[in-house]
Structure 1
């Protein structure tokens, strides 16, 4: 007899990265969940790795870019398509800001690009991503993925 057990939760990270022109870095997912949707670069934490180390590694693997994670701007819990993730989203800065490096899609993404904030609505974004990007723009603290509440962090 087979039981339908819920998926085991996994910890993941994402990074909100802006360039000097105010564009945000997005990747198109090449694997489920949310296959084909645009999201923040990031991925699953590996054993023995800190959240910040995971953020650096995942950004490098998915886009070829080096970043330095800063404050946490959002926490998201996603249960969809047989997956269960708790995602910690960091505001991150490019290690080399000038000239703005172009992302190179790799690993499990099919595209990576800098996106003008005015064009976000034309992208098929993963649920709640707009609220996370707005939270990162304010650089003031945590927001839930629905944008419903703020927890301000000391400066």
Structure 2
């Protein structure tokens, strides 16, 4: 079984909205997700989170704290995963798609009401995201 390790950034603005990206392969239906991606060699999970957010959104962030670690298995793909979720805050930069994989189509701040109805890349995270925005 192949193993995948990555990080995700939970970034909330002053309006209590979550930074999200519309993503997908060209042939796929596009779905919304928080910025995330795979860890590179010799990179910490925190460094991965910071890099992925900058690549996908143009924003430079700093990690505030680790929120949770999600582990699981995608049976059909024969892949186990470990994703580290971090609360981050924007320290500079500007909204700009610059994803080297060309899989990002939009960047937006979404409210908890919007998240309730969005097509999410990881629908299992919907309740977690809505509840986190309520804090």
> Does structure 1 residue 105 correspond to structure 2 residue 97?
yes
CA distance in 2: counterparts of 1:48 and 1:113, whole angstroms? 31
Return the structure number with greater helix share. Answer: 2
Q: Where do 4+ consecutive residues of structure 1 move more than 3 Å? A: 78-81, 134-139
> Does structure 1 residue 26 correspond to structure 2 residue 20?
yes
Instruction: Give a deviation string over 1:83-122, Cα, whole Å, max 9, x none.
Output: 43211110111114xxxx7632331322211112221122
Indicate which of 106, 111, 117 corresponds to 1:116. Answer: 111
- Kindly name which structure, 1 or 2, has the bigger radius of gyration based on alpha carbons: 1
- How far apart are 1:138 and its partner, in Å? 6.2
The answer for unaligned runs of 5 or more in structure 2 is none
Match of 1:142 in 2: none
CA distance in 1: counterparts of 2:106 and 2:73, whole angstroms? 24
Mark the CA change 1:52 to 1:135 in structure 2 (over 3 Å): closer, same or farther: farther
Indicate which of 114, 125, 130 corresponds to 2:126. Answer: 130
- Corresponding pairs, count: 128
Give the CA RMSD over aligned residues.
Answer: 2.4
Question: What TM-score does the superposition give when structure 1 sets the normalisation length?
Answer: 0.71
Tell whether the 8 Å contact from 2:22 to 2:106 is kept in structure 1 after alignment.
Answer: yes
The answer for unaligned runs of 5 or more in structure 1 is 1-5, 140-155
Higher RCO (C-alpha 8 Å, min separation 6): 2
Question: What TM-score does the superposition give when structure 2 sets the normalisation length?
Answer: 0.80
- How far apart are 1:78 and its partner, in Å? 4.5
Match of 1:148 in 2: none
